[in-house]
Amino acid sequence: MSATLSRLPLIPLSPLVQTSIDSAKYLAAITQNLSEHPDDTRLQKHLSSTREKLDQITKHTQTIQVSFLTQFSTQEIAQEIAYINSQLFRLVVLDSAWIANYDKRVNVIPMLDFHRYLSHAFAHEIICSSSRNDGNIVAHLIQIATMLLFVYRDFSGCTAILKCLQMPEIQRIENAWSQCPPKMIKVFKELLPLISPDNQYEVYRQALWSLTHKFLDMPPMRSRMVAIPFMHAHFQVIQTIPSTVQILEFCQQFTKIDPSILGPTTSSVKFTQDPKKPSMDLEQLHT
């Protein structure tokens, strides 16, 4: 996978934008029908209610566009990210031969693009926030990353934030980091090894085992998503650890897997579930 893009990234539409598009199409269809049947009271009511709904969506979208990251709760943002990532991961075709050859039919590009998009979008937000002295933004992002990892088991979203915070241009913004509580800095440093490629992403693989091994004691339930993996790590080790495809299948579809394949690794870094933050069933995610 090339480090540079020679194409436009495939960024999914937000559910709000998609709803707006669908409502606009529906409104156009009703308007067309009403022009042919101007006395149809049922169509007139549909036209009025649809127009009102579209106006509300437009106002909501405009409100979001002028809002800052810290104006939204960590729960709201984490849930939105996990929802989108779960939908993108569901579209990935886990064919061993295709994955080994980086075949486009695997359809992993949208997921990788969204991961990259998140990193750069959050970096942009931090840079902009430095001019308005928003000292909470780094801590806010660390909290979101923590929630993505421990509540939603969304390793993709979590590592996207870690990569953002690790960018040299972000590390250089002293006022953003100086206002971040030491406790949150400590959390960030504890999570940072997740994106380390050392020993074939050993820390990440340890974390994946730590947060998913409880599913090994449950009967397999096809189509139930267990976790959203850090896809870049899996694609980096696919040639040396072919069983990574089985791990991806386990994460995506809750298929039966040999426990020894999932882990644990020999890494000394441990990731334990916070009892105050119960994990979510990814099948119940909604936006």
Of how many residues is the chain composed? 287
Judged by average pLDDT, the poorest of 18-32, 125-139, 178-192, 245-259 is 125-139
Q: How far apart are CA 106 and CA 64, in angstroms?
A: 33
Statement: residue 114 has pLDDT above 80: yes
HSE-up of residue 105 (Cα within 13 Å, Cβ side): 7
In this prediction, residue 167 carries a pLDDT of 97
Average of per-residue pLDDT across 261-282: 74
Query: Structure tokens of 171?
Result: 């590390």
What is the signed CA dihedral for 71, 72, 73, 75, rounded to 10 degrees? -170
Condensed to tens digits (0 to 9), the pLDDT of residues 83-102 reads: 999 999 999 999 989 988 88
Angle at 74 between CA 69 and CA 79, to 5 degrees: 105
**CB neighbours of residue 132 within 10 Å:** 9
Judged by average pLDDT, the poorest of 30-34, 257-261, 272-276 is 272-276
Condensed to tens digits (0 to 9), the pLDDT of residues 180-221 reads: 999 999 999 999 999 999 999 999 999 999 999 989 888 877
Kindly provide the b/e burial profile for residues 16-38, where b requires at least 16 CB atoms within 10 angstroms of the residue's own CB. eeebbeebeeebeebeeebeeee
In this prediction, residue 264 carries a pLDDT of 80
Residue of 4 and 23 predicted with greater confidence: 23
Query: Structure tokens of 238?
Result: 């696919």
Instruction: Give residue 267's pLDDT band: very low, low, confident or very high (50, 70, 90).
Output: confident
Q: How far apart are CA 16 and CA 281, in angstroms?
A: 23
**CB neighbours of residue 141 within 10 Å:** 27
